[in-house]
A = this chain, B = another copy of it.
Amino acid sequence: MKITQEADYALRIVLNLSKLGMDNRIDAKSLSEEERIPTRFTLKILRKLTQGGITRAYRGVHGGYALNQNPQDLNLKIVIELIDGPICVNRCVYDKEFCNLKRTNHCSIHHVLGEVKDLLTDKLESVNFKDLLEK
């Protein structure tokens, strides 16, 4: 019931860039030092964020990264799912192949874990990075 360390780092990276604002960039090395994330790992995460449209990369001398969207349009769920994949709680909810529903047409575990998933998803979606900055 955890997000990966990589997703955790990604949240911190996006928060850092949110502080800077969309118009300012920072290079991966400085960012990694500020956030205490291994530099190469930071690069890898930034690549995913860039491919996912969350950040924007500038190459060459004085290059770096900046947010590609307004902080208020980015929330925890978007970042976590980009890195970790969809939030799913258990495989029964995610993949019906593994679910009793197939056999018995009823699976109360499925049902309640679906509720848990929805609750979690809604909460993560409700927190955007503008909110986080203001805390």
A45 interface contact, C-beta 8 A:
no
A44 interface contact, C-beta 8 A:
no
Assembled-state Cα–Cα distance A89/B76 (Å): 13
Residues on B with C-beta less than 8 A from A120 are 1, 116, 119-120
Copies in the complex: 2
Taking a contact as CB atoms under 8 Å apart, the answer to whether A8 and B92 are in contact is: yes
Query: Which of chain A's residues 77-135 have a Cβ closer than 8 Å to chain B?
Result: 80, 84, 87-92, 100, 103, 108-109, 111-113, 115-116, 119-120, 123-124, 127, 132-133, 135
Taking a contact as CB atoms under 8 Å apart, the answer to whether A109 and B2 are in contact is: no
Range of interface residues on A (Cβ < 8 Å): 35 or more
**Chain B min CB distance to A79 (Å):** 11
Could you mark each residue 1-38 of chain A with 1 if its beta carbon is under 8 Å from any beta carbon of chain B, else 0? 11101011001100100000000000000000000100
Taking a contact as CB atoms under 8 Å apart, the answer to whether B123 and A135 are in contact is: no
A-B contact list, 30 entries, CB within 8 Å: A1-B1, A1-B2, A1-B3, A1-B80, A1-B87, A1-B88, A1-B89, A2-B88, A2-B89, A2-B90, A2-B91, A3-B89, A3-B90, A7-B90, A8-B90, A8-B91, A8-B92, A11-B109, A12-B109, A36-B103, A76-B112, A76-B116, A108-B132, A108-B133, A112-B135, A116-B120, A116-B123, A119-B119, A119-B123, A120-B120
